[in-house]
Each structure stands twice: as structure tokens, then as C-alpha cells.
Amino acid sequence: MAEPSSERSAAGPRGPSAQPTGATTLSPQVGWGVLHLFCKPTPTTDAQAVIAAVKAAEGEGDQVVPVAVLGHKADLAFMILGDELRRQRRFQTDLQAAGLEIVDSYVSLTEVSEYAQGMPEEMKAPRLAPQLPPEAKTAWCFYPMSKKRSPEQNWFTEPYERRKELMMEHGTSGRKFAGRVLQVVTGSTGLDDYEWGVTLFAVHPDDLKEVVYTMRFDEASAVYAEFGPFYTGMVTPVEDLMSELGLT
């Protein structure tokens, strides 16, 4: 990750905020914090301040993925990943100070699934510390999901070996899209309204549709999954994003 820069301290009054005096850092013991922010511009949005907020976060070592969002739910989104949560809160504050309205959000942590704990360390690293966005995969989608706990379909009362078997089948379906789709699954139990956040990066938008459709036939999804709202868009450099929205 990039070394910290002096850009934050050099910013003007609408620029990135400073860490409050006496504030303590807060980091996961394992993995990174992940914050999805879905926004709409307002009449007071300052494009240069938005760009400065993104650059400042990147300068402090975080990864920021700006997205041009399709549809009415939001106009733009930012996915920020890093090992310290107070920096992510400052990034959120900076976007609000720049005049963006945050209309939805999602909080989660990178993780290695309990069904994959035996995998080699080199395979765990991309899950705990993914390098985003992936090259040549600009089609983007995010949705939250949970496992059902109804009397008829209760994932959490199934034996561990049965759950592992179903997730292995689910993973096999997903691996058929290797090279076309990168899936980033982050854990949010106790952190947000659903249990996982799923972020997809794909070569083409129909890759997004096909992978979700295909995996819904797996029993782990067909019987036990519940889905939240979907957001779809295109990974876009923040300067281009401001221009596309008519802010520059």
C-alpha cells in the first residue's frame, strides 16, 4: 500500500479532515475493514474536495474503489478497504463535507470462511487483504446476504459437515467464472443488517448476471440464502466520475 503523504495536511478548509486529538486507532485482529458508501451529489457538492478525500485516503494506505452507479438508488459509490476503521470514518466525514449525500452504506470485514480454514496461507492472503480494483474488470456489483433461520430452512441448525459440503458445491460453481469474475465476500455478522457483503468485479456486465444466476441453483443459495438490495455500476477513476456527473 502507498506511503502516507502530506496531502491531508495541505488541504484547504473543505479538504480532508484531520484525526481528532487523542483519538485511538481501531483495527481488526484479523483482516481489514471494508466500508461501502452509496452517494448522491447535492447542489453544494465540491468535486475537487471529493477527489482530495479519495487521494488523502489512498495516501494513508487505504484502497478506494470509486464506482459510477446505475439506476435510481445512488449515483456513485466508494468502496474503501484498510486496516484501520477510524480512517474510514474520516473518509466518510470528508465525503459528507464535500457535499455528497450518503444514501446507503454497508460495513464489513474481510475474512476467510470457516469452511476454508485449512487452505494454505498464500490462498488466505487475497481474501484477507485483496488488492482492488482488479485489472480489466470494471463491471461492478454489490449486494448483502444472509442465511435463513426459519423453522423449515435453518442454516444454523444444520451440522457443520453438511454446511461445509453445501459451501464446497457453491464454491465449485463460482470457480467456473475464474478470469471473468472476481468475488470479494466480506463478513458483517454483528456489524450490519445482513451477514455478508458480496462485491463482484467482472469483465462484462452480463458476467455479473450469469454468475449470480448460476450460483442461485446451488442448494446453499436456493434453499438457504436471503438477499438484500443490489447496486450495479462501473469502476471509474474519481476524476472521470466527477466529470460524468457534471460536477467539473
Residues acting as catalytic residues: 143
Nearest 5°: the CA angle 63, 55, 90 is 75
Q: Which residues contact 172 (CB under 8 A, 6 or more apart)?
A: none
**Cis, peptide link before residue 229, omega less than 30° from 0:** no
- What is the Cα–Cα distance from 55 to 220, expressed in whole angstroms? 40
β-bridge pairing 100-110 and 181-187:
antiparallel
The per-residue b/e assignment along 198-233, b for 16 or more CB within 10 angstroms, e otherwise, is: bbbbbbebebbebbbeebeebebbeebbbebeebbb
